[in-house]
Amino acid sequence: MDFKNKKITVMGLGLYKEGSGISATRFLLSRGAKVTVTDLKTKAELIDQIKRLGKLANQVRFVLGKHRESDFKNVDMIIKNPAIPRKSKYLEIARANNIPIETDISLFFKLVNRRQIIGITGTRGKSTVTTLIYEILKQAKDNVIIGGNITKSPLVQLNKMKKNGLAILELSSWLLESLEDAKLSPRIAVFTNIYPDHLNTYKDIDDYAAAKENIFKWQINQDYVVLNLDNEFTKKMGSRVPSKRFWFSLKEFKNENGCFLKNKNIYFRNNGHEEKVLSVADIKMPGSHNIANVLAAVCVCKLYGLKSENIKKVVSVFYGVPNRLELLREIKDVKYYNDTTSTMPEASLVALQALKSSKKNIILIAGGADKGLDFTELVKEIEKTVKSLVLFKGTGTDRILKLLKTKKIDCAVANSMSEAIGLAKSFSKTGDIILLSPACASFGMFKNEFDRGDQFRSLVDKLK
């Protein structure tokens, strides 16, 4: 694909250091393209990103604080940030003018052999599974890269993707929509689960799940898909896959290929051959959801022929991914956990279940912006396992407070992370857990969920 002297509009510079927008800009400039970056954020809001471009910024035409129709008409290509809705009026203008629209991921798929790609999607667990697969495979193979929704674009790592290169990509529903247009799926697709999420973007859960299904929809029969047998949505998908199907489950299953638990050990089965890979005791991450994440990762690595001892070696020293039920510190016998990426009630419910004990010792920091999700089951779990509740001001918090019936929980609303930690600390005593697991979106008070987690981490680091 030749980009030299092509006029390309990058729609959405983004805020991540190595994210879609900034990485696409760097890549296109390196290939000789004439790049326009347009973003609804102002120069003041994007100044850090512009500085990260360094001298390259001088080669970019910036249109900030607005979009212009002309930048979507008289160009050769649009690269859109994945968070921008497909139905944006500016993208409709581009389509009406037959301008191709890509994301950094769809472009990457077209620039490499898709057989070199492992894709991971799902509502929960995809970052952990993506990272664990990467950590295991990079011990055994050269030129393994990680990217996608994990806030790192694969485009900036394209030089590592030689004939034997391998890309481990976390793929969101928005990124997978761009693969639908290209009719491309990875050689190995992993689907962790489906829960209601992004219902402020999709009309219903079926619409959301349909976008996710693009991860295997365009596979061929020589490809592989790894599905969660314990999730009702992914279980039903099993009948629709065009490729070789492998399952993973917290329960033993018969006959089918895949990974499962038996007598507190993880087994892998392929064409009747069954092998013990490791023990549950080897897993350092808390919660049954993390056992499921390990099952999915093990399945992929066994498909690549890795020895069980090599898989076990990595799993036994893998403590999880930052911002996902991450133990930050223990101060005066109070543990601080960062679970900022739990932006939906089901995720925070899982976090509470993973950390709960016989004594009610969890102080939960939650709440924020509403995504149109159901908080009923989470509130029931809060009433059972949480001793104190600190909520960020927001529309999601308003709904949680309406559902909260018990008066036995100390409850307070905070206007900042600093205030939230101060309140949580005031409620705590020896042996308690302070858990940031918001169950809500971050917009309004924070730039994004990672900014929320960074603020929590920074303030906890300063505690004495």
**Ligand-binding site membership of 127 (annotated):** yes
Q: What is the DSSP string of 413-447?
A: EESSHHHHHHHHHHH--TT-EEEE--SSB-BTTBS
Cβ(188)–Cβ(210) below 8 Å: no
Pairing, β 258-262 against β 265-270: antiparallel
Rounded Cα gap, residues 346 and 374, in angstroms: 9
Specify the residue for token string 């403590």.
319
- 267 Rama class: left (phi>0) / alpha (psi -120 to 50) / beta: beta
- Name every residue whose Cβ is closer than 8 Å to that of residue 64 and which is 6 or more positions away in sequence: 37, 38, 39, 41, 42, 43, 46
Rounded Cα gap, residues 346 and 192, in angstroms: 14
Rounded Cα gap, residues 323 and 366, in angstroms: 14
Q: Which residues of 362-383 are buried (b: 16+ CB within 10 A; e: fewer)?
A: bbbbbbbbbbebebeebbebbe
Q: What is the DSSP string of 399-410?
A: HHHHH---SSSE
**Ligand-binding site membership of 163 (annotated):** no
**Ligand-binding site membership of 122 (annotated):** yes
**Ligand-binding site membership of 371 (annotated):** no
**Ligand-binding site membership of 123 (annotated):** yes
H-run or E-run covering 390: strand 386-392
CA dihedral 43, 44, 45, 50 (to 10 degrees): 50
DSSP state of 240: G
Beta strands in 29-76 (DSSP E): 34-39, 61-64
Structure tokens, 121: 């999607």
Q: State whether residue 343 is helix, strand or coil.
A: coil
Q: How many contiguous H segments (helices) and E segments (strands) does the chain have?
A: 16, 20
* Partners of 166 in the β-ladder: 144
Residues within the annotated binding site for ATP?
122-128
Residues within the annotated binding site?
122-128
